[in-house]
Amino acid sequence: MRLQKFLSAAGIASRRKSEELIKNGLVKVNGKIVTELGIKISPYDSIFYRGKQLKLQKHIYIMLNKPVGYVTTLHDEFNRPNILQLVKIPQRIFPVGRLDYNTSGLLLLTNDGELTYKLTHPKHNINKTYVAKIKGEIKKNECNQFENGLIIDGRKTAPAQIKIINSNKFYSVVQIKIHEGRNRQIRKMCAAINHSVIELKRTHIGKLKLDINSGCYRILTENEIDYLKSLEGEK
C-alpha cells in the first residue's frame, strides 16, 4: 500500500491532503522522515504522524444535513461554527467535498480517503443535485446558456443541467445538476446569467438522497455505501 493511501485509510486526511503532509515532512516510516510520494509500505512498517503511531481504522460513513451558518473547513480563521460540532462521534472524520457557509443540505463525512477522492475528483463525473431559489424570472435562453457552459473565473464550466420548478417575476426555483466541484460554482454560474442566489441546498450525490432534518446526521446503510463505492460517473 502506498503511504498516502495508508494515511487516508488511517483517517488522517484525504489522499491529496496526505500527500501534502508527506511533502512537509510530518510523517515517519520506521523512525525516518519520508518526503517522497509513492513510497510503498508493508504491514510490518511503523508509521508515525506528528509523533503518534498510526493504525488502520474501521471506516465510517455519515450523511449530514448541513444547516446554513456552518463551515465545512476544519479550521476557520473567523471561528465560525464547524460541521464537526454537529456530529458527535469519537472517530476522526472529514467532509467529502465542501458546502459553503450559506449553502445547506447533503454532506458526507468519512475517514475513507479513497472514497473521498473518488467522489470529489472531477474526472469521475459524479453528479451533485441542488435546489436553488434565485432572484428574478429565469428564461429558457438563460437555461440554455447555463447548460452549455459559462465562463467563470476565466474558464468555461462543463455542461450542466437546470430544470425550472417554479418561476415568477420576483424569483425562480430551479433544480441544478453539476459534476464539477469548483469554488462557489453554482452561485457564480447563476450570477453569470444575471440571477443571484437567494437560497441553495444540495439534495443528492449521485442517486443518494438527503432524507434527514436540518442539523441531523445518520450512518449510511450498507447498500448506500456499496452504491457510492460502485459509482463510475454519470453523464
Q: What is the DSSP letter of 2?
A: B
Q: According to the 3-state scheme, what is the secondary structure of 157-212?
A: CCCCEEEEEEECCCEEEEEEEECCCCCCHHHHHHHHCCCCEEEEEEEEECCEECCC
**Residues 130 and 228: beta-carbon distance below 8 Å:** no
Catalytic residue among 45, 76, 100, 211: 100
Based on the residue annotation, tell me whether 100 is a catalytic residue of this protein: yes
| 202 beta partners | 105, 130
Cα–Cα distance for residue pair 196/212, rounded to 1 Å: 27
Residue type, position 95, single letter: P
Torsions phi, psi of 66, nearest 5?
Answer: -70, 125
CA distances from 86 to 63, 70, 212, 216, 234 (A): 11, 9, 13, 7, 31
Residues carrying an active site annotation: 100
